[in-house]
Structure 1
Amino acid sequence: MPFTLRLHRVLKAPPERIYRAFTDPAAMCKWLPPHGFTGTMHHMDPRVGGSWRMSFTNLAAGAQHTFGGEYLELQPGSRLRYTSRFDDVNLPGEMVTTIELKPVFCGTEMQVTQEGIPDVIPEAACHLGWQESLLLLTQLVEPDMPG
């Protein structure tokens, strides 16, 4: 039975910068792959109805997982919803990820909800992967670099 994952973070960055990290191909390759993986963005068209396609490669083993989906909702600086499907037939189904961004006095409150995660992915592994990715996202968006 597919499961749902919910995560909450407060980042010391404006919502627009965090949103940009989800819609810029180079940024996604920098932060989304969890530790031990590299990322390649094959296609990204961030508009409602647009699609995206990416792969993660395990640096140690060389194994690659390709996945992609469609953008369902894009509200710059506040909300993203997109689907994800793995090419691997052993990872069936479609996941829907919702990212909600809310400005707060010290930065941005971020809520992540990922629904429909295949039950063949251990829930603890999914949590760990997202935690590692969100650490990398934090390191990307929090520095306030001039021009």
Structure 2
Amino acid sequence: MPRTDTASRVITAPLDRVWDALVDPAALAVWLPPAGMTGRFERFDARPGGSYRLVLTYADASGAPGKATADSDIVEARFVDIVPGVRVVQAVDFVSDDPANAGTMTMTWQVTAVAAGTRVDIVATDVPDGITAEDHAEGLASSLANLAAHTER
């Protein structure tokens, strides 16, 4: 059954710094992986119609086996829309033999200037059944905390 998950956070950094971190592969590799994971891009082309392949590796896969291999998730994503300083929309697929992880999830990252800095809102639609709501909420919150730590200097 298709599901929508959301998360948001106000980051005490200027919008342009937060925006840059959303579209720079070096920055993304640092802050996007949730706690307990590392990430590396095999390719990255941030433009509408562009794509990326991200390998996320678990530090300890014993409690959460990966979707692609025993210790990793592989994300194939396509940039659907990029409005500089406003939003990034991605169509995301997980490489997996498990049908519970199949299907394309759309992730929209939106940034808005607020008095305290930048509000970041994430909306994930058509979340695959293999990703529990609790795990996804935890992962999104972790990525937002990492983004804050990366941009609040």
TM range (shorter): over 0.9
Q: Is the 8 A contact 1:15 1:78 kept in 2?
A: no
Structure 2's unaligned 5+ residue stretches are 62-69
**SS across alignment from 1:137:** helix
Aligned positions of 1:1-147 closer than 5 A? 1-61=1-61, 63-90=71-98, 91-143=101-153
CA distance in 1, matches of 2:130, 2:54: 20
Structure 1: 5+ residue runs without aligned partners? none
CA–CA distance in 2 between the matches of 1:126 and 1:11?
Answer: 20
Question: Residues 7 and 113 of structure 1 are in contact (CA less than 8 Å); yes or no, is this contact kept in structure 2?
Answer: yes
Render the CA deviation track for 1:47-68: whole Å, top value 9, x for unaligned: 0110111011111236111112
Q: Does the Cα contact within 8 Å between 1:70 and 1:83 map onto a contact in 2?
A: yes
CA RMSD, Structure 1 to Structure 2 (Å): 1.1
Question: Which whole-Å CA distance do the structure 1 matches of 2:15 and 2:95 have between them?
Answer: 31
- The aligned residue for residue 64 of structure 2 is none
* Aligned-residue identity in percent: 32
The letter of the residue matching 1:139 is A
Secondary structure of 2:142 counterpart: helix
Q: Secondary structure of 1:10's partner?
A: strand
Secondary structure of the residue aligned to 1:117 is coil
**Cα distance in 2 for residues equivalent to 1:52 and 1:69:** 5
Structure 2 distance, partners of 1:89, 1:18, is: 35
Deviation at 1:21, TM superposition (A): 1.1
CA offsets 1:1-37 (integer angstroms, 9 cap, x no match): 1211111211111222112111111111111111111
Q: 2 CA distance for matches of 1:132 and 1:9?
A: 11
**Structure with the larger strand share:** 1
- The 8 Å contact of residues 16 and 76 in structure 1, kept in 2 or not, is answered as no
Count of residues in correspondence between the two structures: 143
Residues 88-136 of structure 1: per-residue CA shift (max 9 Å, x gap): 0311000111111111122112211011111121110110111111111
Distance 1:120 1:60 in 2: 19
